[in-house]
Amino acid sequence: METGTKKPIDPKQQGRIYELTHSPGQFAESVIEWIIRICGISAIVFVFGIFFFVFREGAAFLFGGLDLVQFLTSTEWYPSSVSNQRYGVLALIVGTISVTILAMVIAVPFGLGAAIFVSEFCGPKLKEVFKVVIELLAAIPSVVWGFIGLQVMNPLIIKYLDAPIGLSVLNGGCILALMSVPIIVSIGEDALKAVPDSYREAAEALGASHWQVVYRVLLPAAKNGLLAAVLLGTGRAIGETMAVLMATGHSVNIPTSLLDSVRTLTATIAAELGEAPVGSDHYQVLFIIGILLFTITFIVNLTADLVIKGISTENDL
């Protein structure tokens, strides 16, 4: 065996080194390490795979036949009209935006408030309890949320707000708010936890009260993390499908009040993909909507990531 060193090596030790570097397991080990590497990049492969396959199904119509300007600016969505099919998704985009905004208006104060309370004002026992309950809240399947919107919220809205139909922006927004609150709480709490204790101690030593510490020190220090929490909650709300499919009613129009029914991008795909013949224009348009959704959520998540990473370079935590 060539060791490449000039100094003679004790043969016993040489044997040991040989055993370590040329053990029969070495080949197996390098195979395993390659498998690990391949699995390691699997997430990248899947993200590209998702984009590729969704794009592939919709590409033919996207580049041949679809008027992109009309697609994005028209409110006329008549995909299965016999004589004149029109594919305008503006009303669907507005539907998604209106439900998401309402959800965030409700979820952000509650979510951030709860994150601050759980992280800063709570004893350790109570903290565990709250975190467990919020985790369970996050685990409720979206179809159950949709069912709640349909069976519980719907009659309540009809009864107390005197609306003709309870499946509306209001209903969907409330359900989505409850669904995105757990994300905001858990990521917001992480962001507050990441602020070093020395910040808190320094502020308390200067005589600040508990609330002053939170308001003047922790919130500014954790603002990027909290913003990321809100962004990820928004991403969840935009991408949610079953709950909005069941709770927002089913009419393609631009809402003028909270009690109007709308339809979102996600719900449209879920509702119509089953009926559209594979390969038809309608089918391809649904995949193009998929590309649109993928792009929107990709940008939201990317922004959230950049915002979070911003913390670690700025504050040098």
Please report how many Cα atoms fall inside a 13 Å half-sphere around the Cα of residue 260, on the Cβ side: 16
Asked if residue 77 lies in contact with residue 251, where contact means CB atoms within 8 angstroms, the answer is no
Q: Enumerate the β-bridge partners of residue 78.
A: 86
What region, left, alpha or beta, does residue 4 occupy, with left being phi > 0 and alpha being psi -120 to 50 degrees?
Answer: left
Interaction of residue 156 with other proteins, rule CB under 8 A: no
Q: Which of residues 247-266 bind other proteins (CB under 8 A)?
A: 266
Of 199, 37, 159, 178, nearest to 111 by C-alpha is 178
Interaction of residue 49 with other proteins, rule CB under 8 A: yes
282 to 86, 128, 200, 265, 268: CA distances (angstroms): 10, 49, 57, 14, 11
Q: Which of 56, 72, 159, 201 binds other proteins (CB under 8 A)?
A: 56
Stretch that binds other proteins, among 79-87, 113-121, 154-162, 192-200 (CB under 8 A): 113-121
Cα–Cα dist 154/123, whole Å: 38
Distance of closest approach, residue 241 Cβ to other proteins, in angstroms: 4
Q: Between residues 158 and 273, which has the closer beta carbon with respect to other proteins?
A: 273
Q: Which of residues 157-216 bind other proteins (CB under 8 A)?
A: 178, 181, 185, 209-212, 214
Q: Which of 226, 240, 260, 307 binds other proteins (CB under 8 A)?
A: 240
Cα–Cα dist 263/206, whole Å: 54
Of 238, 287, 292, nearest to 102 by C-alpha is 238
Q: Which of 70, 97, 147, 258 binds other proteins (CB under 8 A)?
A: 147
Interaction of residue 15 with other proteins, rule CB under 8 A: no
Distance of closest approach, residue 236 Cβ to other proteins, in angstroms: 8
Q: Enumerate the β-bridge partners of residue 86.
A: 78
Q: Which of residues 295-314 bind other proteins (CB under 8 A)?
A: 297-298, 300-302, 304-305
Q: Which of 36, 69, 82, 205 binds other proteins (CB under 8 A)?
A: 36
Q: Which of 88, 95, 111, 255 binds other proteins (CB under 8 A)?
A: 111
Distance of closest approach, residue 3 Cβ to other proteins, in angstroms: 17
Q: Which of 136, 156, 161, 202 binds other proteins (CB under 8 A)?
A: 136
Q: Which of residues 71-90 bind other proteins (CB under 8 A)?
A: none
Of 172, 36, 153, nearest to 103 by C-alpha is 172
Q: Which of 5, 8, 11, 43 binds other proteins (CB under 8 A)?
A: 43
Q: Between residues 46 and 78, which has the closer beta carbon with respect to other proteins?
A: 46
Interaction of residue 116 with other proteins, rule CB under 8 A: yes
Distance of closest approach, residue 279 Cβ to other proteins, in angstroms: 9
Interaction of residue 141 with other proteins, rule CB under 8 A: yes
Segments in 223-276 forming alpha helices (H): 223-239, 242-247, 265-272
Q: Which of 76, 86, 110, 193 binds other proteins (CB under 8 A)?
A: 110
Q: Which of 89, 99, 170, 236 binds other proteins (CB under 8 A)?
A: 236
Interaction of residue 130 with other proteins, rule CB under 8 A: yes
Q: Which amino acid is at 162?
A: D
SS3 78: strand
